[in-house]
């Protein structure tokens, strides 16, 4: 692993498969545009790196129709899979 690969892995671990407020569902780091040299702060064992990166996100438009597969349905609602993401829950009503 080189430095950029290690940064990409760390960013994917932090963001992927999570909803980023005002962005959408993070899918993967696309690329890293800039990365500063690591800084170690006193009393901290970790290196801190300022990074500018691009992220692939899933962000459907309002009113957009998506096709999925029903995984389960019960009184609590319906669970749907879109293939690449399976944690969609539609509440009843």
DSSP β-bridge partners for residue 52: 34
Residues 67, 83 contacting (CB under 8 angstroms): no
Max CA separation in the chain (angstroms) = 54
* Contacts of 51 by beta carbon, 8 Å cutoff, 6+ apart: 7, 11, 32, 34, 35, 36
Give the tens place of pLDDT for each residue, 22-81. 888 899 999 999 999 888 888 887 788 999 999 999 898 889 998 999 999 999 999 999
Q: Is the pLDDT of residue 84 over 90?
A: no
pTM above 0.85, yes or no: no
Strand order across the beta sheet in which 69-74 lies: 69-74, 77-81, 88-90
């Amino acid at each position: 692993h080189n430095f950029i690969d290690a940064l990409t892995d760390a960013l994917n671990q932090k963001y992927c498969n999570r909803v980023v407020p005002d962005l959408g569902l993070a899918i993967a780091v696309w690329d890293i545009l800039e990365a500063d040299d690591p800084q170690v702060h006193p009393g901290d064992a970790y290196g801190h790196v300022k990074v500018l990166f691009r992220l692939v996100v899933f962000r459907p438009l309002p009113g957009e129709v998506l096709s999925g597969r029903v995984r389960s349905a019960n009184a609590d609602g319906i669970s749907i899979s879109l293939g690449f993401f399976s944690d969609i829950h539609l509440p009843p009503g």
